[in-house]
Chain A
């Protein structure tokens, strides 16, 4: 645990996520800032559930704070119901016999993982084999799902260079559906091994859906945060990784298997970062051998430290965004695009985006 992290996130939110009993040391004034950053990071529901599970701790929370906890528990229950409804509709719409994998939030919910209680998914992420992508898309379109983005460039961008189709939604439904055919953009530096993913799939009992192998769930969450995001405000993704490791990875054999799999998915460098910050920020238990995987270079570690401290870690400031945070956010955006696309494609993409911002809409 590093005690020098700034603001209520460093002083209270991370300690709470590490050990919910930390709240016994918190005053009402401590809660004031902590609720703000927890909500900004979309982690209030998770914290509320952990407190609610222990009546003695709940009783130690000031009354004014308990209302916020209850409110987010109620809201998360509603979101969860929306996920269940969406999954039931998808189950009916997708072709029987096609292997469909749940990713991220929907997968955690469907597996009943307790670390995901109180999580508030915005969308349902599905993975199908590339050979099944067109059939899956046709089936969803026939059942009423519509693509949000109709712009020809966006369609082409998603289809040729991304790892998912443009988000789809049934008009009136609360949640979007993201249909993936792999877990990292096809143009990006790190490409997961699709065959390995497919071999590891596990059927969900009592459901038509599958989930990734436990180690692949960890690696997907790692790729999602450390390669496929701009890092800003994404502490929740680190909490996901922490929860998956605590749940799935026990003992030296599990750790060795995780590292081996990360190497084969070419994500061993990213895994080092994930384990480093999970351990330091959230107290995630690491193997006795102390092996973290492939250690990145010192400059890469300095860069990541900037991103984690000043972009990933939530901060609510009445004075607006501090220069260091604006810098970190900008660096996070640059890095995201750099990792996602080869230079020629990146240049082309930025040209298109720049021009389309200058030209009036509807061109």
Chain B
């Protein structure tokens, strides 16, 4: 945990010093956050998980100005806490200071879910090859994050794990590239699956169980501002010991599973109806049951290659 990758070509930025003073600007693709924190352990963890990102010590603009500070008052010395704030608003109760990283990650998600209403925010992982994206939507507990992480390890570009960011103006997907929150068993699954996986410390007993964060790779981070076109929709479901099972989904089924699993579908009304309907009409959709990651990834790669639409010229 203590050794940071120091030879990052993307960002020769003194992360901890920037976080302590004027702030660290992190480009997530769909938004830029300016982050400040005096908490040294959090700075170390951010340095590890965001090592591949385009980071900056100064930019003209940030979408969100956020901070993670120590809790207030006398209790701070008995049981240290931390609090997440955006422009003076603290959306959560304080966390124990040891859980500053999960709090920060949830905080950024909160900001984006509250304020990113120029986009349709699908609850979906998005990965791409040659500019063509597979949208993986699933309910919590279906193994979406594990499959997302494994696909990145096998060379897919990761755009997002939590938010499928659909731009209704263009029909394209924006990246919302964040460290992938691996939960419980999937932490060890990904450790075994990929020797190169950079994984942060394990936070035990959070409200989502044990959580550890997987750092996005350099290829995904370097292309964070590039959009991708939706080409394939997958509803994955991990079933222990199961073989591969592929069930085509008619467009109306894909539509409702995407729309009703979205953060702001109802809020956007007509805007999101049209945008999601375009995805459902234009992309083949499948429910994918799997028991082995490599088998599922090969299958998705083949489906993506066969899906309509031209790949970008590399």
In the complex, A115→B62 CA distance in Å?
29
Residue of B nearest to A72 (CB): B117
A-B contact pairs, 6 of them (CB 8 A): A28-B60, A28-B61, A40-B88, A67-B116, A78-B267, A78-B268
> Hey, which chain A residues are within 8 Å of B36, CB to CB?
318
CB-based contact B87/A316 at 8 Å: yes
Residue of A nearest to B266 (CB): A78
Binds B, one of A29-37, A261-269, A298-306: A29-37
CB-based contact A40/B87 at 8 Å: yes
Query: Is B17 an interface residue, CB under 8 A from the partner?
Result: no
Residue of A nearest to B23 (CB): A318
| CB contact list, A63-77 vs B, under 8 A | 64-65, 67-68, 70-72, 74-75, 77
Contacting residue for B269 out of A68, A81, A316, CB 8 A = A81
CB-based contact B271/A71 at 8 Å: no
The 6 closest A-B pairs by CB, nearest first: A70-B118, A71-B117, A29-B60, A71-B118, A28-B60, A67-B118
Query: Is B115 an interface residue, CB under 8 A from the partner?
Result: yes
> Hey, which chain B residues are within 8 Å of A67, CB to CB?
63, 116, 118
Query: Is A289 an interface residue, CB under 8 A from the partner?
Result: no
> Hey, which chain A residues are within 8 Å of B268, CB to CB?
74, 78
CB-based contact B118/A316 at 8 Å: no
> Hey, which chain A residues are within 8 Å of B118, CB to CB?
67-68, 70-71, 74
In the complex, A71→B271 CA distance in Å?
12
Query: Is B178 an interface residue, CB under 8 A from the partner?
Result: no
CB-based contact B271/A68 at 8 Å: no
Query: Is A62 an interface residue, CB under 8 A from the partner?
Result: yes
In the complex, A317→B268 CA distance in Å?
31
Query: Is B65 an interface residue, CB under 8 A from the partner?
Result: yes
| CB contact list, B49-77 vs A, under 8 A | 60-63, 65, 67
In the complex, A27→B67 CA distance in Å?
25
> Hey, which chain B residues are within 8 Å of A31, CB to CB?
61
B280 to chain A, nearest CB (A): 21
CB-based contact A32/B267 at 8 Å: no
CB-based contact B87/A32 at 8 Å: no
User: CB-defined interface of A302-323 with B at 8 Å, one 1/0 digit per residue?
Assistant: 0000000000000011100000
In the complex, A67→B63 CA distance in Å?
9
In the complex, A320→B60 CA distance in Å?
21
CB-based contact B88/A316 at 8 Å: yes
A321 to chain B, nearest CB (A): 8
A-side interface size class: 20 to 34
CB-based contact A77/B269 at 8 Å: yes
In the complex, A317→B32 CA distance in Å?
19
In the complex, A276→B226 CA distance in Å?
50
> Hey, which chain A residues are within 8 Å of B169, CB to CB?
70
CB-based contact A32/B271 at 8 Å: no
Query: Is A39 an interface residue, CB under 8 A from the partner?
Result: yes
CB-based contact B60/A32 at 8 Å: yes
In the complex, A68→B88 CA distance in Å?
19
Chain B CB count within 10 A is highest, among A39, A68, A71, for A71
> Hey, which chain B residues are within 8 Å of A28, CB to CB?
60-61
> Hey, which chain A residues are within 8 Å of B271, CB to CB?
74
In the complex, A42→B63 CA distance in Å?
16
CB-based contact B60/A27 at 8 Å: yes
Residue of B nearest to A37 (CB): B87
A232 to chain B, nearest CB (A): 12
CB-based contact B87/A74 at 8 Å: no
CB-based contact A64/B87 at 8 Å: no
> Hey, which chain A residues are within 8 Å of B63, CB to CB?
64, 67-68
CB-based contact B60/A75 at 8 Å: no
The answer to whether A71 and B116 touch (CB under 8 A), given A27-B60, A78-B267, A81-B269, is: yes
The answer to whether A78 and B60 touch (CB under 8 A), given A36-B65, A316-B88, is: no
Residue of B nearest to A36 (CB): B87
In the complex, A70→B30 CA distance in Å?
14
User: CB-defined interface of B10-45 with A at 8 Å, one 1/0 digit per residue?
Assistant: 000000000000000000000010001000000000
CB-based contact A78/B269 at 8 Å: yes
The answer to whether A318 and B67 touch (CB under 8 A), given A27-B60, A32-B60, A78-B267, is: yes
B105 to chain A, nearest CB (A): 21
In the complex, A27→B60 CA distance in Å?
9
User: CB-defined interface of A49-93 with B at 8 Å, one 1/0 digit per residue?
Assistant: 000000000000010110110111011011001000000000000
> Hey, which chain A residues are within 8 Å of B62, CB to CB?
32
Residue of B nearest to A32 (CB): B61
> Hey, which chain A residues are within 8 Å of B115, CB to CB?
68, 71
7 extra interchain contacts, Cβ-Cβ under 8 A, other than A36-B65, A67-B118, A74-B118? A70-B117, A71-B117, A71-B119, A74-B268, A74-B271, A77-B269, A316-B65
In the complex, A32→B36 CA distance in Å?
16
> Hey, which chain B residues are within 8 Å of A72, CB to CB?
117
In the complex, A78→B88 CA distance in Å?
25
User: CB-defined interface of A16-38 with B at 8 Å, one 1/0 digit per residue?
Assistant: 00000000000111011000100
> Hey, which chain B residues are within 8 Å of A68, CB to CB?
63, 115, 118
The answer to whether A75 and B117 touch (CB under 8 A), given A81-B269, A318-B36, is: yes
In the complex, A67→B67 CA distance in Å?
22
Chain B CB count within 10 A is highest, among A67, A77, A81, for A67
In the complex, A74→B115 CA distance in Å?
10
| CB contact list, A265-282 vs B, under 8 A | none
CB-based contact A74/B65 at 8 Å: no
A65 to chain B, nearest CB (A): 8
In the complex, A72→B116 CA distance in Å?
9
User: CB-defined interface of A90-125 with B at 8 Å, one 1/0 digit per residue?
Assistant: 000000000000000000000000000000000000
Contacting residue for B61 out of A29, A39, A81, CB 8 A = A29
> Hey, which chain B residues are within 8 Å of A71, CB to CB?
115-119
